[in-house]
């Protein structure tokens, strides 16, 4: 399996890593990578858990429903604010009804149906780009509220 790729300049705030999601093993690798990124970014334990949980759910959706994909992690800055942006992409069937997919209890698999809506609630910003038959990209960002 290829190693994660890194791009950007040397400051940590400009670094972006990309991780493949092709197997169950990759889901664990993604969780560890996200946990490491949250620690390096100085998030507290509660926010680390929020971000890892959201990333895990999004990566699992890409694997199960999208046939695999990628997770991109990027430290971001906006003035004095710092955060961590996740982007999970797949080239699966897309999401036919995004509003329905956010509804708690809605599932297309064996899960409880809290995944996509739950991931959105754990993050400060959340965007879904999807096209039936062309795949889905979900971008989520959590700002570090610690000073």
> Coil, helix or strand for 107?
coil
Give the pLDDT band of residue 9 (cuts 50, 70, 90): very low
| pLDDT surpassing 60 at residue 14 | no
User: In this structure, which long-range contacts are made by residues 8-13, counting pairs with CB atoms below 8 Å and at least 24 apart in sequence?
Assistant: 12/40, 12/41, 12/75, 13/75, 13/76, 13/77, 13/82
Percent of the chain with pLDDT over 90: 65
What is the rounded average pLDDT for all residues in the chain? 85
Give the pLDDT band of residue 135 (cuts 50, 70, 90): very high
Cα 86 to chain center, whole Å?
Answer: 4
Report the pLDDT value the prediction gives residue 146, as an integer from 0 to 100: 78
* Average pLDDT value for residue range 81-94: 95
Report the pLDDT value the prediction gives residue 7, as an integer from 0 to 100: 47
What is the H or E stretch that residue 135 is in? Answer: strand 135-143
Distance in angstroms (rounded) separating the CA atoms of residues 145 and 42: 10
pLDDT digits (tens, 9 = 90+) for 98-123: 766 666 655 555 443 347 888 999 99
Percent of the chain with pLDDT over 70: 79
């Amino acid at each position: 399996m290829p190693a994660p790729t890194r791009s950007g300049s040397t400051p940590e705030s400009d670094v972006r890593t990309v991780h493949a999601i092709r197997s169950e093993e990759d889901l664990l690798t993604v969780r560890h990578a996200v946990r490491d990124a949250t620690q390096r970014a100085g998030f507290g334990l509660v926010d680390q858990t929020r971000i890892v949980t959201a990333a895990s759910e999004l990566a699992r959706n890409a694997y199960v429903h999208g046939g695999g994909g990628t997770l991109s992690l990027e430290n971001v800055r906006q003035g004095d604010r710092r955060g961590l942006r996740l982007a999970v992409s797949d080239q699966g069937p897309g999401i036919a009804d995004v509003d329905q997919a956010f509804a708690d209890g809605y599932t297309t698999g064996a899960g409880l149906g809290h995944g996509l809506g739950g991931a959105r609630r754990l993050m400060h910003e959340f965007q879904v780009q999807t096209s039936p038959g062309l795949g889905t990209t979900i971008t989520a960002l959590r700002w570090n509220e610690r000073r």
